């Protein structure tokens, strides 16, 4: 054992993790890959209820995300209130009608054609939970002081990735829904002006007749490039 020799100006504690064998590491990795590779974004939900503890656990998992200066610049707002869900659906559909019918973005509309999405967002009422994630440009501390946050989008994006992973691991389904623009969510959910709506997640179980578009994930050789000093010479 080597005794730590660093001197710190802030509290530090030892951090040790068990070193896995290569076999065991690969086994665990492939098991997680197989599970996550079965995840799909869902647009048809069962109205079956989901216990609040499951939502809480998924948010606890999201809350472990790394973040700029460890400021954790996110707020997860969850509701299963039928009237609130209806209000959010109506506001989202109003935005989407403009997107699908009034905006002149043919390339974007064409890119969405295989998903067959449209302005109807029934899932915002059918799913038992809506979880709106807000990104905090700054955070108001308990003493009322305003603290600036850093790498907000990256931090909240990572937290949302963990949230999606948690839900899937718990057998739940969701959709990364981003009505555009989403400012209405701030008013509907009473959030402060320092928070920007980031993603709206309907959460529940897929309906019995749920379908998803056929898609393939790009192969590892396109997702991963191994670089070295030799590769371009």
Q: What residues line the site for ligand IYR (CB under 6 A)?
A: 96, 99, 112, 115, 117, 177-180
Q: How far is the CB of 102 from ligand IYR (least distance, A)?
A: 13
Closer CB to ligand IYR, residue 175 or residue 189?
175
3-class DSSP assignment, residue 196: strand
Residue that the structure tokens 């995840």 belong to: 39
Q: How many whole angstroms separate alpha carbon 74 and alpha carbon 199?
A: 11
Q: φ and ψ at 210, to 5 degrees?
A: -60, 135
Task: Name the minimum Å distance from CB 182 to ligand IYR.
Answer: 9
Task: Quote the least distance from Cβ 185 to ligand IYR, whole Å.
Answer: 13
Q: Name the closest residue to ligand IYR (Cβ).
A: 117
The nearer residue to ligand IYR, 94 or 112, going by C-beta atoms, is 112
Between 85 and 149, name the residue whose CB sits nearer to ligand IYR: 85
Shorter beta-carbon distance to ligand IYR: residue 149 or 163? 163
Q: Quote the least distance from Cβ 212 to ligand IYR, whole Å.
A: 13
What is the rounded distance in angstroms from the CA atom of residue 127 to the CA atom of residue 202?
Answer: 6
Q: How far is the CB of 43 from ligand IYR (least distance, A)?
A: 9
Q: Least CB distance from residue 96 to ligand IYR, whole Å?
A: 5
Q: Which is nearer to ligand IYR, 97 or 147 (CB)?
A: 97
Q: Which CB atom, from 117 or from 194, has the smaller least distance to ligand IYR?
A: 117
């Amino acid at each position: 054992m080597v005794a730590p020799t660093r001197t710190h100006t802030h509290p530090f504690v030892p951090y040790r993790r068990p070193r896995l064998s290569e076999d065991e590491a690969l086994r665990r990795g492939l098991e997680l890959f197989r599970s996550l590779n079965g995840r799909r974004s869902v647009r048809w939900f069962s109205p079956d209820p989901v216990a609040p503890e499951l939502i809480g656990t998924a948010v606890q998992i999201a809350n472990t995300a790394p973040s700029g200066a460890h400021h954790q610049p996110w707020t997860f707002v969850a509701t299963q209130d039928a009237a609130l869900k209806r209000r959010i659906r109506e506001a989202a559909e109003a935005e989407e009608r403009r997107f699908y019918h009034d905006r002149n973005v043919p390339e974007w509309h064409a890119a969405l054609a295989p998903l067959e999405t449209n302005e109807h967002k029934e899932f915002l009422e059918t799913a038992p939970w809506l979880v709106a994630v807000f990104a905090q440009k700054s955070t108001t501390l308990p003493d009322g002081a305003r603290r600036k946050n850093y790498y907000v989008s990256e931090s909240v994006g990572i937290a949302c990735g963990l949230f999606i992973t948690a839900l899937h691991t718990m057998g739940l389904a969701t959709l990364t829904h981003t009505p555009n623009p989403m400012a209405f969510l701030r008013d509907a959910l009473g959030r402060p002006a320092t928070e920007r709506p980031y993603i709206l997640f309907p959460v529940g179980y897929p309906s019995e007749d749920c379908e998803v578009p056929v898609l393939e994930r790009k192969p590892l050789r396109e997702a991963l490039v191994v670089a070295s000093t030799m590769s371009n010479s």
